[in-house]
């Protein structure tokens, strides 16, 4: 008859091997996750850069990335600000909706909101809240993200792209069609 201590040592050895196998698998997955996150961030940066390049031009005929960026110094002189990514960030313009205006007139963020709401409307699922949008877009559902989406949605309502049938619930406005525009 085997000893109790021997049986316990045998089970401990099996459990330790399982832990070692799982740690190796976790390390492999962590390494894959790091590579995937880096790849994802690079695509986010690429989309952001393309958005800057394709941004509408301002009244002077120059693109936002070409506009003079100046700031006053302490002695009243004006100096050119450095073109850092923060300085290069452009404010999105949302045109008033009109029949035939394509979604491409909007920035990618606004198009994403319209797409999500149009898909819901097409499937008969009804209005969407900003918290639901944040979760749908894979964002952290934290107040800062939700309020940023709410600000964009409210701007789309004010410009005629969205309707707000109940407070905080958004749906495409009547007449606003798919990404190609038209009615």
10 within domain boundaries: no
Residue span of the structural domain in which 113 resides = 92-183
131 falls in which pLDDT band (50, 70, 90)?
A: very high
Instruction: Give me the phi and psi of 97, to 5 degrees please.
Output: -70, 140
pLDDT at 178: 64
CA 51 → CA 22, 85, 91, 149, distances in Å?
43, 13, 11, 18
Q: Domain total for the chain? A: 1
135 within domain boundaries: yes
Indicate which CATH number applies to the domain containing 113. Answer: 1.10.10.10
Give 170's strand partners. 128
172 within domain boundaries: yes
- Say if CB 157 and CB 151 are below 8 A apart: no
Instruction: Name the percent of the chain lying above pLDDT 90.
Output: 33
With a cut of 80, say whether residue 77 has pLDDT above it: no
pLDDT at 49: 85
49 within domain boundaries: no
160 within domain boundaries: yes
72 within domain boundaries: no
């Amino acid at each position: 008859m085997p000893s109790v201590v021997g049986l316990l040592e045998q089970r401990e050895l099996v459990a330790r091997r399982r832990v070692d196998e799982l740690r190796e698998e976790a390390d492999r997955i962590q390494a894959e996750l790091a590579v995937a996150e880096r790849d994802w961030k690079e695509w986010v940066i690429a989309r952001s850069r393309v958005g800057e390049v394709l941004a509408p031009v301002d009244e002077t005929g120059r693109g936002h990335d070409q506009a003079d960026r100046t700031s006053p110094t302490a002695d009243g002189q004006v100096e050119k600000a450095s073109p850092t990514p923060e300085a290069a960030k452009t404010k999105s313009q949302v045109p008033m909706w009109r029949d035939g205006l394509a979604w491409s007139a909007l920035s990618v963020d606004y198009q994403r909101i319209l797409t999500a709401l149009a898909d819901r409307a097409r499937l008969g699922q009804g209005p969407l809240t900003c918290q639901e949008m944040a979760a749908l877009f894979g964002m952290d559902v934290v107040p800062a993200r939700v309020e940023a989406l709410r600000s964009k949605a409210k701007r789309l309502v004010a410009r005629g792209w969205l309707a707000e049938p109940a407070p905080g619930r958004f749906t495409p406005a009547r007449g606003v069609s798919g990404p190609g525009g038209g009615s």
